[in-house]
């Protein structure tokens, strides 16, 4: 069974986006006040509390952005970036596990995709981490091929060692499902990657015996 399907924008997603944007704007105002207070603070104990509050605010804003990404409403500019450079940067970030980037550099080295590099790499890392935790494997394969006719790149993050049930595949990209039900984390899960890639006009799905399948438009 495959989880491949397109998620259409809905009015509930629009409403969610407005609510979270408003919340993040409110947090930004509070954090600005905290930063000003820190500049004038002379009490070490109060300064410590202000820094902790500011740190909590930064985490809350990022979580809000992950919610926006999950519904395809993240406000970031999508600009042209080298696909090969982005994939190599993901490989260089591996510190907890060994990622085997098995890709045909010859076919993709001149290709560019429109994305935000920070969020794109973060989403790829989420997909890789899911396979690592679910399979207990420390070596992950990534293959990429260019479809010149459709002007899209197909990327497979291999997860042959992971077999998901029909129910798990059906709900895999729902908020919190993959993280809490499958790998035991408390973040929003793979909904972030699904939503952000949809914002790039890209598709993401899971296939047993293969892994994550990404289909992304490219600029040749």
Q: How do the pLDDT tens digits run along the chain, 220 residues long? A: 556 544 444 666 666 666 766 766 767 787 887 888 888 888 888 889 888 888 888 888 788 888 888 888 888 999 999 998 898 888 776 655 555 555 555 567 788 999 999 999 999 999 988 998 888 776 777 888 888 888 999 999 988 888 999 999 999 999 999 988 888 888 899 999 999 999 999 999 999 989 999 999 998 6
DSSP assignment string, 63-129: HHHHHHHHTT------EEEEHHHHHHHHHHT-SSSEEE----HHHHTT-EEEE-HHHHHHHHHHHHH
What's the token pair of residue 23? 């919340």
What is the DSSP code (8-state) at residue 114? E
pLDDT given at position 119 = 95
pLDDT given at position 5 = 47
pLDDT given at position 201 = 95
pLDDT given at position 96 = 54
- How many residues appear in the chain? 220
Question: Hey, which bits of 31-151 come out as E strands?
Answer: 79-82, 98-100, 112-115, 139-147
Identify the helix (H) or strand (E) that includes residue 206: strand 203-207
Identify the helix (H) or strand (E) that includes residue 197: helix 191-199
Q: What is the C-alpha separation between 86 and 89, in angstroms, rounded?
A: 5
What is the DSSP code (8-state) at residue 152? E
pLDDT given at position 99 = 58
CATH placement of domain 79-217: 3.30.565.10
So where are the chain's domains? 11-70, 79-217
pLDDT given at position 50 = 85
pTM above 0.85, yes or no: no
């Amino acid at each position: 069974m495959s989880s491949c399907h397109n998620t259409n924008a809905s009015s509930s997603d629009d409403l969610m986006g407005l609510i979270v944007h408003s919340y993040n704007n409110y947090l930004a105002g509070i954090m600005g006040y905290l930063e000003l207070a820190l500049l004038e603070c002379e009490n070490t104990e109060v300064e410590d509390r202000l820094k902790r509050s500011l740190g909590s605010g930064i985490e809350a804003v990022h979580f809000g952005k992950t919610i926006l990404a999950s519904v395809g409403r993240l406000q970031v500019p999508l600009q042209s970036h080298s696909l090969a450079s982005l994939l190599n940067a993901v490989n260089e970030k591996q510190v907890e596990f060994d990622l085997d980037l098995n890709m045909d550099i010859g076919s993709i080295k001149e290709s560019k995709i429109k994305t935000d590099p920070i969020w794109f790499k973060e989403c790829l890392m989420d997909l890789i981490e899911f396979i690592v935790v679910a399979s207990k494997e420390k070596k992950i394969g990534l293959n990429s091929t260019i479809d010149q006719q459709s002007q899209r790149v197909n990327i497979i993050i291999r997860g042959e060692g992971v077999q998901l049930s029909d129910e798990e595949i059906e709900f895999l990209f729902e908020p919190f499902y993959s993280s809490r039900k499958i790998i035991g984390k408390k973040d929003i899960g793979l909904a972030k990657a699904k939503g952000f890639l949809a914002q790039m006009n890209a598709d993401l799905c899971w296939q047993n015996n293969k892994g994550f399948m990404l289909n992304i438009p490219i600029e040749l």
